[in-house]
Amino acid sequence: MQPAAQRLQRYRAWMRDQGVDLALITHLPNIRYLANFSGSAGYLLVRPRRAYFVSDFRYREQAHQEVFPWIEVRIPREVLREVLRLLRPGRRIGLEADHTTLRFYRFLEGALTRRASRKLVPLSDQVLHLRAVKDEQEIARIRKAQEITDRIFQDVLNLVEPERMTELDLAAEMEYRMKKYGASGPSFPTIVASGTHTALPHAQPRLVKIARNAPLLLDFGCVYQGYASDMTRTVWIGSQVDPEFEKIYHIVNDARARAIEAARPGMSTADLDEVARAYIRKRGYGEAFGHSLGHGVGLEIHEAPWLAPRRGKRPEQFISRLQVGNVVTIEPGIYLPHLGGVRIEDLVVIRPDGAEVLTRSPRELIRL
């Protein structure tokens, strides 16, 4: 069986464990993973022996072209009526608890559970767990997305014109190149932050000139054939690097290298986070590293596994041990409001013997 066909079989095995005989998948990245449909409207219904993809006339051609041949495509005149019809044989019908709205749940409840023998069952996001382990075709797409990202970073080094270009100008140049180099677009809004703005982990590019004698932080990625990349580099604009900046740069970079060195299958994700966090804490900057170490990357830019301290907020989605085939970011940072921030982020694949680094851009401190 080809790897893509195993996805549905694995999901069905899990359905059996949950005691559901029908599952309704509504989250589009999950539909893309299980059914290969890349459009933006549709429902996937999984039964023990059959599976159906239901969408509307706008996606007729695309659905027939894309959807895996072992899933039956239905393009009815009334989509919801057809979905209900296909749900009726179910006795215990699973719904994606994280992706079903209260309104849709109430609608299904009204339409389906008048018969007492039929029950709606909120399910955890098992497809997200399956998606966390990538096959080689998926890794190849992420690798290609990261190659485009690296190429753009190389371009940027030649492009930046401090005191003339704005943060938005540079972000425009970067996103422009994504499509030119064959990506479908950014995997998230490109972050270009200059000066003390680098201290905001979620900075948005402003109509503000890139400053000289200050840090410049770039956090960006693109989507190639549905799969995302993600990278951060922080450079210094000017020949004289601020000594405190240089100091935190090296701490962050060493924390990154140590985490990558430590990563291996079977290791707890919280322990990996702690490798970088402890290193930064011991050097006196523990309070200045306010986010988690990293996250999975794939059909979504943020997905399982999450590399975070032990007190995760959604334990049921928190995959506790690294597995072969995980693709994760390693992105420690130190943020000092008076000076700015440093974040250095690589993308790695977990292999049997450790982490393979996909990111090719340099990590040493660059002065521009």
How many amino acids of this chain bind a second copy (CB under 8 A)? 44
Stretch in the footprint of a second copy (CB under 8 A) among 68-76, 92-100, 250-258, 357-365: 92-100
Give the dihedral sign, CA 53/59/60/66: negative
Q: Measured from the CB of residue 255, what is the shortest distance to a second copy in angstroms?
A: 20
122 is a contact residue toward a second copy (CB under 8 A)? yes
238: left (phi over 0), alpha (psi -120 to 50) or beta: left
202 is a contact residue toward a second copy (CB under 8 A)? yes
Q: Measured from the CB of residue 91, what is the shortest distance to a second copy in angstroms?
A: 19
207 is a contact residue toward a second copy (CB under 8 A)? yes
Q: Which two tokens stand for residue 132?
A: 């966390």
| Residue nearer to a second copy on the CB measure, 4 or 200 | 200
176 is a contact residue toward a second copy (CB under 8 A)? yes
Binding track over 28-67 against a second copy, x by CB under 8 A: -----------xx----------------xxx-xx-----
| Residue nearer to a second copy on the CB measure, 173 or 254 | 173
Stretch in the footprint of a second copy (CB under 8 A) among 167-175, 233-241, 243-251, 270-278: 167-175
284 is a contact residue toward a second copy (CB under 8 A)? no
Distance of CA 84 to the CA centre of its chain: 32
Residues of this chain, 312-341, that bind a second copy according to CB under 8 A: 313
Q: How far apart are CA 89 and CA 21, in angstroms?
A: 9
219 is a contact residue toward a second copy (CB under 8 A)? no
CA 251 vs CA 92, 303, 338: distances in Å: 53, 27, 18
CB-based contact 129:175 (threshold 8 Å): no
Among 19, 185, 284, 309, binds a second copy (CB under 8 A): 185
Q: Measured from the CB of residue 51, what is the shortest distance to a second copy in angstroms?
A: 22
| Angle at which helices 136-159 and 167-180 cross, to 10° | 140
Q: How far apart are CA 149 and CA 231, in angstroms?
A: 7
Q: Measured from the CB of residue 338, what is the shortest distance to a second copy in angstroms?
A: 13
Q: Measured from the CB of residue 176, what is the shortest distance to a second copy in angstroms?
A: 4
Among 18, 184, 268, 323, binds a second copy (CB under 8 A): 184
115 is a contact residue toward a second copy (CB under 8 A)? no
CB-based contact 40:28 (threshold 8 Å): yes
CB-based contact 209:166 (threshold 8 Å): yes
Rg (CA), the chain: 23
Q: Which two tokens stand for residue 93?
A: 């019908």
Position 59, amino acid: Y
169 is a contact residue toward a second copy (CB under 8 A)? yes
271 is a contact residue toward a second copy (CB under 8 A)? no
Q: N- to C-terminal Cα distance for the chain?
A: 52
2 is a contact residue toward a second copy (CB under 8 A)? no
172 is a contact residue toward a second copy (CB under 8 A)? yes
Burial (CB < 10 A; 0-12, 13-18, 19+), residue 317, is: middle
Q: How far apart are CA 224 and CA 250, in angstroms?
A: 32
Stretch in the footprint of a second copy (CB under 8 A) among 147-155, 198-206, 208-216, 264-272: 198-206
Which among 303, 336, 329, 332 has a CA at the least distance from the CA of 318?
303
Give the dihedral sign, CA 317/319/325/328: positive
Q: Measured from the CB of residue 284, what is the shortest distance to a second copy in angstroms?
A: 19
Q: Which residues bind a second copy (CB under 8 A)?
A: 39-40, 57-59, 61-62, 80, 95-103, 105-106, 122, 168-169, 171-173, 175-180, 182, 184-185, 189, 200-202, 204-205, 207, 290-291, 313
